[in-house]
Amino acid sequence: MILSQLGRTARNASAKYSISNSYRSFSANRRLYSSETSEIKFLPGLLCKRAEKICDEYNKLEKEASNAQTYNSEVSTKLVKLGSIVNNYREYESSVSEIDDLRQMFSDPSLKAEAEEEMKSLTESIKTLVDKLQSRLLPPHIFSDNACILELRPGVGGSEAMIFTEDLLHMYQGYATENKWPFQVVSLTPNSAGGITEAILSVDKPGSYEKFQYEAGVHRVQRVPATESKGRTHTSTAAVVVLPQLGGDSEADAEASERKYAPGEVHIEVMRARGAGGQHVNRTESAVRITHIPSGIVVSMQDARSQHKNKAKAFQILDSRLAEIERVKRVEFEKSKRTAQVSSTGRSDKIRTYNYVQKRVTDHRCGFSMYNLDECMTGKRLEEVIQAMEKHDQIEKMEMLLEQET
């Protein structure tokens, strides 16, 4: 390696080497580099600062763990989580610092060709590290560590929309099963002619919100209904709302949630449950309806046999809906401050189309399409669509960070 001719003692002597200084040095001398080296992809300054904070936190935790008398699982888990970021960032620091070493070679005609070859390899190495670090350093979603609740309702399309809503429910259940995540159908309202008019699915795996957040919005299906005699393709829709799980569904959790609200802010009604269920449904007032007066949000729950259980679950959903409303307000406020307009990964009409004739699934936010609709609808290949949206979301966040730097 050509860098061995210079040695790396000086570079490694300072533990506080500044990436920003190296970047400025490179930028100031860009004219000395070939056209290939001018394409080096650096980590944005804001992410460098975030990485340095993580390195500091990692060092403190490492000292804490080595001095502890007993094993602390929480500290150990956090060390493992931060460790990969720290290792990648240190490797990135080392790679960027090599730029200055190589820069000295460009002015020597006898070494320039070899230096250019090594710069190409270094450019690829830095690009790979930047891609890894960007995905780990971008600000996480406020509810990324939470479990989630999905609410599904039919849109336009009559009975076909209700059938499609049930198909989406099965897709999400299949996806949870593929990931071995615990889930339960909290509420289900079937339609006598087929399909469902409403479903609430609780996915109880912490962190599942981070994946399911991209499912929020209007889903469109294009297919020939079973009742269509002339073979015409119909278009129907279903709406999906994704909420973070907040609190639990025990009686104590319900009491804690109720205490959070000011007197008169919520109105609680109990009543007899409707529909099938036997004598218990007809004779006990187990159903609960909670109305949040300021927002007008109404949550009804009757699926559990216990009034306390229904009340706890209703408060959990109410808390989640209000938290999601506040999150959306914050996101919209941040976007309104931006000078450049970019596409949104929030809720919007027709976020995704399921075309049964073409066996195609297309996500309109990121432009991703796959032609294996059947396996997507079973949940087996839904992950591919979600991963495409994750990459799209990362690009959006990067654009926001770069705008903050300029």
pLDDT tens per residue across span 27-44: 333 333 333 444 677 888
pLDDT band at residue 73 using 50, 70 and 90 as cut-offs = confident
9 CB-near residues (< 8 Å, 6+ apart): none
- On the question of pLDDT at 337 being above 80, the answer is no
End-to-end CA separation in angstroms for the chain: 37
Contact 267, 324 (CB under 8 A): no
What's CA 64's distance to the chain center, in Å? 31
What does pTM read for this prediction? Answer: 0.65
CATH architecture, domain 148-335+349-398: 2-Layer Sandwich (3.30)
Task: Kindly state the tokens that stand for 251.
Answer: 């009686």
- How far is CA 44 from each of CA 108, 138, 256, 282, 404, rounded to the nearest angstrom? 31, 11, 43, 63, 10
For the chain, the residue count is 406
Nearest by Cα to 331 from 323, 137, 240: 323
Quick one: what percent of the chain has pLDDT higher than 90?
A: 33
Q: In this structure, how many other beta carbons lie within 10 angstroms of the beta carbon of residue 326? A: 11
* Residues 221, 158: Cα–Cα separation, whole Å: 13
pLDDT band at residue 215 using 50, 70 and 90 as cut-offs = very high
pLDDT band at residue 359 using 50, 70 and 90 as cut-offs = very high
Mean local confidence (pLDDT), 212-240 = 90
**Rounded (10°) CA dihedral 218, 222, 224, 230:** 110
Task: Kindly state the tokens that stand for 93.
Answer: 């620091």
- Rounded to 5 degrees, what angle do the CA atoms 127, 131, 133 make? 115
Maximum mean pLDDT: which of 255-264, 270-279, 380-389: 380-389
Domain map of the chain by residue range? 2-137, 148-335+349-398
Share the mean pLDDT of the chain: 80
Q: What pLDDT sits at residue 276?
A: 55
Q: Is 55 exposed, middle or buried (CB count within 10 Å of its CB: 0-12, 13-18, 19+)?
A: middle
Number of H helices, E strands in the chain: 12, 11
* Residues 141, 376: Cα–Cα separation, whole Å: 25
* Residues 194, 34: Cα–Cα separation, whole Å: 66
Mean local confidence (pLDDT), 111-131 = 86
Q: What pLDDT sits at residue 14?
A: 39
Tell me the per-residue pLDDT of 137-157, one tens digit each, with 9 for 90 and over.
887 777 888 899 999 999 999
Residue 148: phi and psi, rounded to 5, are -140, 165
Task: Kindly state the tokens that stand for 184.
Answer: 């339960």
- How far is CA 350 from each of CA 122, 156, 215, rounded to the nearest angstrom? 43, 12, 11
- On the question of pLDDT at 49 being above 90, the answer is no
Q: What pLDDT sits at residue 24?
A: 40
Contact 141, 397 (CB under 8 A): no
Tell me the per-residue pLDDT of 153-207, one tens digit each, with 9 for 90 and over.
999 999 999 999 999 999 999 999 999 999 999 989 999 888 999 999 999 999 9
